[in-house]
Amino acid sequence: MAGSQDMFDAIVMADERFHEEGYQEGYEEGSNLGIIEGRQHGTLHGAKIGSEIGCYQGFAFAWRCLLHSSATERDSKKMKVVESLIGMIQKFPYDDPTYDKLHEDLDRIRGKFKQLCSLLNVQPDFKISAQGSGLSF
């Protein structure tokens, strides 16, 4: 009786063992695949944010300098908004996808940028649409 129980256990365990060995191999392979696939998607999303934030940053820095250098443009209101936008961007952890206020902060930055543009009376075209195709997947 005990013998047949052992045999039965052996069969059940073999079942488990084969599954386990396949599992281990699959697990390693899956881990590698996950990294590769995740990276591809992550790169695109990160690039999208980096591109947008970089644009605002470059725009704000350049305008700060332009406002500084031309006496006629020296305007405390414009300057204040530029400084505020730069401050917001510098505090924004653009390279961290786990940042919980990512969308909230991004919307605030976009709003501040629009405010600056209307104050400066300019309508910059960042050609985001041109690279839109490259960023979608």
* Site of tokens 């006629």: 72
CB atoms within 10 A of CB 23: 12
> Which residues are at the interface with another protein (CB under 8 A)?
14-15, 18-63, 65-66, 68-69, 94-98, 120-127, 130-131, 134-135
In terms of CB distance, is 7 or 33 closer to another protein?
33
At its nearest, how many Å lie between another protein and the CB of residue 44? 7
In terms of CB distance, is 108 or 126 closer to another protein?
126
In terms of CB distance, is 24 or 104 closer to another protein?
24
Distances (CA, A) of 23 to 1, 27, 32, 47, 117: 33, 6, 14, 35, 57
In terms of CB distance, is 56 or 88 closer to another protein?
56
At its nearest, how many Å lie between another protein and the CB of residue 114? 13
Which tokens go with 122? 């300019």
Tell me if 105 sits within 8 A of 92, measured CB to CB: yes
115 Cβ contact partners less than 8 Å away, ≥ 6 residues apart: 81
At its nearest, how many Å lie between another protein and the CB of residue 88? 14
